[in-house]
Amino acid sequence: MASNVHLRGDGVSVIVDVSSGVPIVRHWGSALGPAESVPDDGRVTLGAIDSIPAVSLVPMHGDGFPGRPGLAGHRRGGRHWAPRFTLASHEVIENADRTELVCTAVDRVAELSLVSSLALGADGVLTAQATVVNDGDTPLMLDAFTVSLPLPAEASELGVYGGRWGREFDLHRFAWPYGAWTSENRAGRTSHEHPPFVWACTEGAGEWSGRVWGIHLAWSGNHVMYAETMFDGRRYVQTGELFHPGEICVYAGESFSTPDVVGVFSDVGWTRASQSFHREARRRLPRRLGPRLVHLNTWEAVYFDHDEETLRSIADAAAAVGVERFVLDDGWFGSRRNDRAGLGDWEVSEAVYPNGLAPLIDHVRALGMDFGIWVEPEMANPDSEILRAHPDWVLATPGYEPVLGRNQLVIDLTNDECFAHVLGRIDDLLSDHAIAYVKWDMNRWVVQGSGTDGKSAAHDQVLALYALIDELRVRHPEVEFESCSSGGGRIDMSILQRVERFWTSDNNDALERQKIQRGASMVLPPEVLGSHVGPTPAHSTGRRLDMAFRTATAMFGHMGVEADVSRMSERDREILRHGIEVYKRFRAFVHGGDAVRLEPSGAARDHCIAHGVYATDRREALISFARLETSSASGTPPLIVPGLLDDVAYRIALVPMLPDGDGLFGPVETRPSWARGADFTMSGRELATVGLPMPPVRPESAVVVHLFGS
């Protein structure tokens, strides 16, 4: 007989059957009343077994589960390969901000315990995790250990991210197929190609309609994402770490836990589900964020060509346009004049900086800016002092030629001596200089990475990375950290607990960034997504774009500049200065509100991107409408703006992205009155039904609109 526990959050109910010991989620979705219940979904199927079990948090083959088991392992000789657990205890723990259910199950034959946790926040965010305990006296080889969450039959579509370098968070949406969809990531980081997020939704769900579920594995290494429709029609999503052969052994008396699995639900579309992910991200940040300072990063300004006088002139020009933090990128250390040598030698290059970094840092700080610096502590070039002295510190497999990536190798942070060396070098760097910010990069996959014991070290390398950043944060609590991995190759909510910012993409082309940032906005709030004004032509695409479009795109993230400001035209510097002023005017609002995505209609649907931020009380909004290319229709349909307060009158005002006017539209007589500077108001109901009249925005341009309720 089922024994159900009802977890309640804001608009969300999770009903869990604990009778079998391993929790079974009977319902995860819209809020239910206290007297409402859900039926047992056990199935009887002719020609199979008498009763097919429900999808539990960790489903077991030993119970007759026909899908992929959540726990796969064995002892020596292949014994105890199909455990079957029974309930030992369960406990409901009430906290101010969440309710947690903890279930303990045992298998006395296999000498294993399984501890499962489901926690539902007051805001409706679900967190699931499982731990296997070896109660025996022989090791347990763990082949797979994942968490499964069942979804209803109405969740008929999937949304998953693909991508590559320079094209991160590319959403692919399709009908949930019969059988299984899966992605497996072995890159040693979350990856550009298969980031650990899966969405499911009802057919045709939009940003503001339909039921949507989102599932994320909070882990920075190898992982599997799996979605299956079983032969009896039931559906579930399963996710966890992906282990290399023989990688994980749970010794007698020890335990092993899955990473957190974060789940969100909305019965009013994708945007509301995204806002739940944003709340969880903000909760996990290592500190409360202050104003997000405007960056100048030197990479696309000078690359490896470091010259102190040039950098001083860039700093002068940056400060003059309002930049607040100067970040010195790759090329400041050792013999690092290109990407073939010097990586791993974290000492200031005497050839480039004969007086050290102090004169440049002092110059930057005298201009009123913070100083930041780039490092890549997990890597080294073969041509480096560190690997000449310690060739055994490479994370590789003896007997094989290590696989190169960007002319570099992964160093073995699981090696205590290597870890201590890297920690000491970065600690010295931060102790000896007035550095407020660290851009932490990781530019290649982990391939055939064996530890000193000969087995795969992929899991342990991630834990060592966490420990390294954690210790540096303890020693330097005032320093902010950024996670970069050739752009967005390591973005997840576990590394987020250790950094204040992600570098969203190496692609600074504003047209591409409109798409990349829209995808990333589905899982992360704008204040943690680095977004820079790049040079023209764009480094990644060669495209030339207007400065006003570049600033309008960058201001809806954590804004920065990645270009040689000193070599820009005076007109571009003037527009950039103005764009930075607009960002500063609105940044507290953008970074403290609820990010929204809007859906252009008609001919604008496939050619325009609209998004913005609403105040938490819904009395104010800032909206960007960008046209990427022309369409077959000459006009632009009104933009539907749902989700504001029906009976509030909103004053609509253009936010000029040029210092001397808008300059972005067609003839004045074709514009709606608000885009000509006239007083114009609309109610929230009108905005959601009739829509906001839009001006004829040129291709590769954006209009920014401020709505303020009276």
Token couple for 499 = 């950094």
Taking phi first (over 0 means left), then psi (-120 to 50 degrees means alpha), and beta for anything else, what does residue 160 get? beta
How many Å apart are CA 200 and CA 667, to the nearest integer? 44
Residues 395, 411 contacting (CB under 8 angstroms): yes
Of the candidates 506, 564, 572, 594, the residue annotated as catalytic is 506
How many Å apart are CA 502 and CA 216, to the nearest integer? 17
Nearest-5° Cα angle at 294, 704 to 375: 130
Token couple for 129 = 């995790």
Question: For residue 568, which of 305, 300, 308 has the smallest C-alpha distance?
Answer: 300
564 classed as catalytic: no
Q: What is the torsional sign of CA 564, 567, 569, 571?
A: positive
Amino acid in the structure at residue 215: I
**Collapsing DSSP states into helix, strand and coil, what is residue 627?**
strand
- The bridge status of strand 112-121 relative to strand 98-107 is antiparallel
Q: What is the torsional sign of CA 660, 555, 613, 629?
A: positive
**Collapsing DSSP states into helix, strand and coil, what is residue 461?**
helix
How many Å apart are CA 525 and CA 557, to the nearest integer? 8
How many Å apart are CA 563 and CA 303, to the nearest integer? 10
Residues 709, 620 contacting (CB under 8 angstroms): yes
Amino acid in the structure at residue 638: P
| Strand runs labelled E in 188-222 | 197-201, 212-217
Of the candidates 63, 330, 441, 509, the residue annotated as catalytic is 441
Question: For residue 419, which of 378, 480, 363, 374 has the smallest C-alpha distance?
Answer: 378
| Half-sphere exposure at residue 99, Cβ-oriented, CA atoms within 13 angstroms | 15
How many Å apart are CA 436 and CA 290, to the nearest integer? 13
Give the position of tokens 């995860």.
28
Amino acid in the structure at residue 339: D
441 classed as catalytic: yes
Token couple for 401 = 């030629």
Cβ atoms within 10 Å, residue 704: 25
R_g of the chain computed on alpha carbons: 27
Longest CA pairwise span in the chain (Å): 83
Token couple for 211 = 């039921």
**Collapsing DSSP states into helix, strand and coil, what is residue 539?**
coil
Question: For residue 18, which of 93, 105, 122 has the smallest C-alpha distance?
Answer: 105
Beta bridge partners of 621: 614, 707
Element spanning 175, H or E? strand 170-175
Cβ atoms within 10 Å, residue 150: 21
Inter-CA distances, 81 with 49, 110, 327, 539, Å: 20, 8, 52, 53
- The bridge status of strand 608-614 relative to strand 594-598 is antiparallel
24-38 exposure pattern, b = at least 16 Cβ within 10 A, e = fewer: bbbbbbeebeeeeeb
How many Å apart are CA 681 and CA 573, to the nearest integer? 34
Amino acid in the structure at residue 353: Y
Give the active site residues: 441, 506
